[in-house]
Amino acid sequence: MDTLPIILPEVLASQLASQLAGPLSAALPAGIMVLALLFARIGALCMVLPGAGETEVPAPVRLSLALALTALLAPVLGPRIAVPGDAMRLLVLLAGELVVGVFLGLLVRALVWALMVAGQYAALLIGLSNVFVPDPALGAHGTALARLFALAGAMLVLSTGLWRGVLAALAGSYDLFTPGAALPAEGLAETMLSAVARSLALAVQLAGPLVLAALLANLALGLLGRLAPQMPVFFVAQPAMPMLGLLLLALVVAPLLSAWVAAAADILAALAPAR
């Protein structure tokens, strides 16, 4: 009786090892394994997807969305998945599906990073860079304007039909990254670097009007300081710059967001392979 607690874990471990090495067909139906593989990629995508992956969205909502998308796409994507014959291959396949899902989510998230960086630029240029709020994407704290732009991007993804492009890219990913095939690590890295570079270029383009306005305003203040040395230019500009910046932002925010939606639609269309 004293040796029973020592022998029992060894017996359980040997049984588990034999089950992992043996076939799965007797333990799990093929449909359950297909749903698990679908949920791995879709759940990882929803974890970082703009809108669904925000910290303000409760975890049960994200889980419900991932389960609903899995059930919705299972009849279309399920036949493309080959069920592995043993548990070890299933675990490796699940890990690969998680990597692909996170990769796709980060590609879409890079689009929202463009808006966030543009908001950081705008806050710096119009004198609102000292107003900080918690921002898990840009660090411990970010500017309030950057956080507002990030939430606007998530809202636009869900309200303008961009989510259709996300689903098309998800469906097309099963042609590019076939479950069970080796992942092209070099190609994934190059694609991610290209997405980040494109996001930064888009951020500079979106913030272009504010950059030009801030440059002209500072040139005008410098000229005013030369023409009237007695005038306290700094104390005049300190309250005027945020007011004028917010006025300019109110004028350009609608075309700015429209330009972002158009650029995001083009990028998502490029992600979905032609059929």
Of 87 and 40, the structure prediction assigns the larger pLDDT to 40
For residue 11, pLDDT beyond 80: no
Over the chain, what is the mean pLDDT? 77
Q: Helix or strand or coil: residue 106?
A: helix
Q: Which pLDDT belongs to residue 55?
A: 73
Please count the other Cβ atoms lying within 10 Å of the Cβ belonging to residue 229.
8
For residue 180, pLDDT beyond 80: no
What pLDDT digit, counting tens, does each position of 35-72 carry? 888 899 898 888 888 877 777 778 888 888 888 888 88
What pLDDT digit, counting tens, does each position of 99-111 carry? 999 999 888 888 8
Q: Which pLDDT belongs to residue 138?
A: 52
What's the whole-model pTM score? 0.74
Q: Which pLDDT belongs to residue 139?
A: 53
CA pair distance 212, 227, nearest whole angstrom:
23
Q: Which pLDDT belongs to residue 272?
A: 67
Q: Which pLDDT belongs to residue 26?
A: 45
Which pLDDT band holds residue 141 (cuts at 50, 70, 90)? low
What pLDDT digit, counting tens, does each position of 197-224 carry? 888 888 888 888 888 887 887 787 777 7
Share of the chain above pLDDT 70, in %: 81
Torsion of CA 204, 210, 215, 218, to 10 degrees: -140
CA pair distance 110, 89, nearest whole angstrom:
32
What pLDDT digit, counting tens, does each position of 118-132 carry? 888 888 777 766 655
What is the average pLDDT across 156-180? 84
CA pair distance 39, 42, nearest whole angstrom:
5
Helices (H) and strands (E) in the chain, counts: 9, 2
Which pLDDT band holds residue 4 (cuts at 50, 70, 90)? very low
